[in-house]
Amino acid sequence: MSEHDKPRGLSTNRRRFLQLTGAAGLGLAVPFNLANVRLAHAAGGQLRVRIGSDISILDPALIFQIENQTVAGHVYNGLVKYDQATNAIVPDLAREWEVSEDGKTYTFHLHEGVNFHKGYGALKASDVKFSFDRVRAEATGSRYKGQFSSIENVAAPDDKTVVITLKGANSGFLHKVCAFNQGWIVSEKAVTEKGEGYKLDPIGTGPFMFDSWTAGSSVRMVANPDYFEGAPKVDEVVLRIIKDETASAIALENGEIDIAFAIQQPEVIDRLRSANGVTMLSREANNTVNLVLNTTIKPMDDVRVRRAIIHALNRKGLIDGFFKGTKAEAYSVLTPTFQEYTENVPKYDYDPDKARALLKEAGAEGFEFEIVTVALNPYDKFPVPMADDLNAVGINTKITVLERGAYVQARASGRVKSCITAVVGPPDPDSPLVTLFSTASFPPGLNTSQYGEVDDLLDAASAEQDLEKRKALYEDIVQKTMEDVPVVPIFADRLFMAHSDKVQGLVQNSLFTVNTYSVSLTG
């Protein structure tokens, strides 16, 4: 059964032999295989990438899910962007920018000669203003409105200059206008013209133009020959929707796809690592995956119970056992990819006895607990051993797996006892911290804990201009939240993707998306 136990050359030979004999035996198979080979050569410029689920909305104001963000990352640019490799903020549409003395005014100077796709004209400062104002407008119903809450005004004094005035100094502001989600710049003309249709007919300035979408099957993007940083090296990118990871792995080995994006299953990762002709990439993501405890529900309002829960969980065992080391330990909700990362926090070892003692002290032995999670790999899987750990110390734990819509609704109600939440996003400390711990993100926001002890610190940190002081403030926040543990960081996420040897120059980012601008195909 296990193909890769055998010497590889032999096995591929056998496969080819079977292919030939099988093909001859079936008669019909011969033209198919020939056709495949011929097409693969003729369309040498087609890059096929596996994604796990279908796309839905490509409008940056409404966008969510890594698959949509992956498409958008090819189609759009921002004023600035994260360097794929280093996460440093580097110029994108803005070739340079200045920040005023008081830190309240940002002036961006746009590149010359940047054009929108499909004849939608040159990029103008007014498009940037339109994009940002659109996200900020109540009527748009953007999920990222809050990200721009620090903006007072966006102005376009001329075609190539954008001036953004802030309500107060915000040292992390550049993160908000990075090429991701609300930071992506749309064409005013296209959005106005297309209306509802814009959701799946995006017009940007990026290296690839959106071409077509076959529901449930694939998304096609074609190279933008006039891209301002130079045309991409492949002619087109086809994102192929393959839900099952094992099927993706087989397809990658069979040469049916070139890149298998977002592989989660440890066994599939293992298998692809040792597969011939396949390279496995991995990178720390910017997020942890957390168990969020609702502090408004008894007995989780008691910090001793919350500490009992974190002591009861064998997080190391989960990472080494279930995940086979494909994830990393997390000491707080900030991962090492953040500049503000710190390990100087209260730590909680796996200690069932201590957990039992804490529960006894709090008089909460044998309470009924529920973990609400979403039906996506691996979120519907790793809670299984967690529940077992909790049951072992006498916390009666039930798992409820909900499909995405129902899950979001249950979480937004603020009435779940606990839920699994990951804040996937840029390496902006505000992204996980404000989202998880600010009173501004009480349900329907993601602060399902309804924990509100660090608001002042959060405000102070984002207003602080001095980098060292700012870092210290964030450390205070992280320490305080780990002291009170409204949120249990379960593991630091890692993103895996595999590609065939045909693929050259793929750089993995930490945003949980894949960008193929740098990729070329050989052979």
Task: List the interface residues with other proteins, window 449-488 (CB under 8 A).
Answer: none
Residue from 24, 39, 88, 90 touching other proteins (CB under 8 A): that is: 39
Task: List the interface residues with other proteins, window 195-254 (CB under 8 A).
Answer: 196-197, 199-200, 214-218, 220, 238, 240-247, 249-251, 253-254
Cβ contacts of residue 469 below 8 Å, gap of 6+?
none
Instruction: Tell me the site size for other proteins, rule CB under 8 A.
Output: 98
Q: How many helices (H) and strands (E) does the chain have?
A: 16, 18
Q: Residue 499 Cβ, how far from other proteins at the closest point, in Å? A: 16
Instruction: Draw the binding track, 41-80, toward other proteins (x: CB under 8 A; -: no contact).
Output: --x--x-x-----x-xx----x-x----------------
Q: Residue 491 Cβ, how far from other proteins at the closest point, in Å? A: 13
Binding segment toward other proteins, per CB under 8 A, in 34-42, 86-94, 156-164, 506-514: 34-42
CA 98, 100, 104: angle at the middle one, nearest 5?
Answer: 115
Q: List the one residue out of 264, 240, 260, 244 whose CA is nearest residue 252.
A: 260
Task: List the interface residues with other proteins, window 90-149 (CB under 8 A).
Answer: 138-146
Torsion of CA 293, 297, 301, 306, to 10 degrees: -30
Q: List the one residue out of 490, 510, 491 whose CA is nearest residue 327.
A: 491
Task: List the interface residues with other proteins, window 372-401 (CB under 8 A).
Answer: 375, 377, 380-381, 383-385, 387-388, 398-401
* Contact between 77 and 62 (Cβ < 8 Å): no
Residue from 13, 149, 344, 409 touching other proteins (CB under 8 A): that is: 409
Q: Residue 330 Cβ, how far from other proteins at the closest point, in Å? A: 17
Q: Is the peptide bond before 7 cis (omega within 30 degrees of 0)?
A: no
Residue 419 is encoded by which pair of tokens?
């839920």
Rounded Cα–Cα distance for residues 312 and 418 (Å)? 15
Binding segment toward other proteins, per CB under 8 A, in 23-31, 223-231, 293-301, 426-434: 23-31
* Contact between 489 and 333 (Cβ < 8 Å): yes
Rounded Cα–Cα distance for residues 50 and 251 (Å)? 9
Residue 508 C-beta-side C-alpha neighbours within 13 Å: 20
Q: Does 325 bind other proteins (CB under 8 A)?
A: no
Q: List the one residue out of 52, 53, 64 whose CA is nearest residue 199.
A: 64
Residue from 7, 31, 121, 157 touching other proteins (CB under 8 A): that is: 31
Q: Does 276 bind other proteins (CB under 8 A)?
A: no
Nearer to other proteins by C-beta: 83 or 267?
267
Residue from 7, 8, 36, 325 touching other proteins (CB under 8 A): that is: 36
Binding segment toward other proteins, per CB under 8 A, in 28-36, 100-108, 292-300, 495-503: 28-36
* Contact between 160 and 125 (Cβ < 8 Å): yes
Task: List the interface residues with other proteins, window 413-452 (CB under 8 A).
Answer: 435, 444-446
* Contact between 449 and 291 (Cβ < 8 Å): no
Q: List the one residue out of 139, 409, 377 whose CA is nearest residue 263.
A: 377
Binding segment toward other proteins, per CB under 8 A, in 84-92, 104-112, 296-304, 404-412: 404-412
Q: Does 508 bind other proteins (CB under 8 A)?
A: no
Q: Using CB atoms within 10 A of its CB, is residue 318 exposed (0-12), middle (13-18) or buried (19+)?
A: buried
Residue from 9, 27, 405, 523 touching other proteins (CB under 8 A): that is: 405
Q: Does 18 bind other proteins (CB under 8 A)?
A: yes
Q: Does 314 bind other proteins (CB under 8 A)?
A: yes
Nearer to other proteins by C-beta: 110 or 151?
151
Residue 294 is encoded by which pair of tokens?
């609702």
Rounded Cα–Cα distance for residues 70 and 75 (Å)? 9
Q: Residue 316 Cβ, how far from other proteins at the closest point, in Å? A: 9
